């Protein structure tokens, strides 16, 4: 399921989403943009501009036993050069998914996230079927990682549950290392996932495309 932007394009990513519901793509962001965004995230954390991430439908409840990251919501207004590169790549992705899969994606929300050493995010869905039909619905999740010189033993992997079982009726999942520039794209209401603890600080940028109410 792994693609690279050196050999694959967004049309192939869309094909994988249509076939499997998820896709992993390396070099989604170039190294310069990934490095700049990681620096911005650390600066935001140091200046206390980030907030502890919440849970629940309004993301207001703080519960460190479920989620331990701090986040900063991005806005295209006043975006830095690195953020503009990210927004452009996401707009290209949105247009491609709409053109090939007729998803009707129209909006994006996104945030930078920093997980301190040992922090995690327990298994969850990004969108629930019972979510109010009067509000826009999250349809596609796209997690981009910003961690340079990340080793396998550093942990912090994304565990994505595949909605399948093996011959022993055990649930299948894959673990994805949070390497800089790598993106994981999947259907928001279909794939449970979790963030495993890491032995050092872990940085990511997560975006969600919406469909209309």
pLDDT (tens digit per residue) in 70-84: 999 999 999 999 999
Residue labelled with tokens 């994304």: 158
Q: Give every CB contact of residue 132 below 8 A, 6+ residues apart in sequence.
A: 213
Region 10-38: mean pLDDT is: 95
Q: What Å distances lie between residue 168 and 93, 154, 162, 164, 175, CA to CA?
A: 38, 30, 15, 11, 20
pLDDT for residue 136: 81
Residue labelled with tokens 């694959």: 8
What's the whole-model pTM score?
Answer: 0.91
pLDDT band with cut points at 50, 70 and 90 for residue 201: very high
| Cβ count within 10 A of residue 174 | 15
173 closest CA partner among 1, 3, 27:
1
pLDDT for residue 148: 96
pLDDT for residue 91: 97
> For the CA atoms of the chain, what is the radius of gyration?
16
Give yes or no for a contact between 206 and 142, defined as CB atoms under 8 angstroms apart: yes
Give yes or no for a contact between 5 and 31, defined as CB atoms under 8 angstroms apart: no
Parallel, antiparallel, or unpaired for β 105-115 and 121-124?
unpaired
With pLDDT > 90 as the criterion, what percentage of the chain qualifies?
79
Q: Which domains, from first to last, does the chain contain? A: 2-211 (2.60.120.620)
| Cβ count within 10 A of residue 65 | 7
Q: How many whole angstroms from its chain centre is CA 122?
A: 15
pLDDT digits (tens, 9 = 90+) for 123-180: 999 986 555 566 789 999 999 999 999 999 999 999 999 988 887 778 999 999 999 9
- Output DSSP code: residue 174: E
pLDDT for residue 53: 82
Q: How many whole angstroms from its chain centre is CA 4?
A: 17
């Amino acid at each position: 399921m792994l693609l690279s932007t050196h050999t694959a394009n967004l049309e192939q990513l869309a094909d994988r989403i249509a076939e499997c519901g998820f896709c992993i793509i390396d070099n989604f962001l170039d190294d310069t943009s990934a490095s700049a965004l990681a620096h911005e995230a650390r600066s935001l954390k140091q200046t206390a501009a980030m907030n502890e991430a919440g849970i629940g439908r309004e993301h207001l409840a703080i519960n460190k036993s479920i989620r331990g990251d701090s986040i900063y919501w991005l806005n295209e207004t006043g975006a830095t050069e690195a953020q503009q590169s990210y927004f452009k790549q996401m707009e290209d992705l949105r247009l491609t998914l709409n053109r090939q899969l007729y998803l009707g994606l129209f909006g994006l929300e996104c945030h930078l996230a920093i997980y301190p050493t040992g922090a995690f995010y327990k298994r969850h869905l990004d969108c629930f079927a019972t979510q109010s039909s009067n509000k826009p619905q999250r349809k596609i999740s796209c997690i981009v990682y910003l961690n340079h010189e990340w080793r396998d033993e550093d942990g912090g992997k994304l565990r994505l549950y595949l909605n399948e079982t093996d011959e022993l009726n055990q649930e299948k999942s894959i673990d994805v290392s949070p390497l800089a520039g790598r993106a994981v794209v999947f259907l928001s209401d279909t794939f449970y996932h979790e963030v495993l603890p890491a032995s050092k600080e872990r940085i990511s940028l997560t975006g969600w495309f919406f469909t209309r109410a």
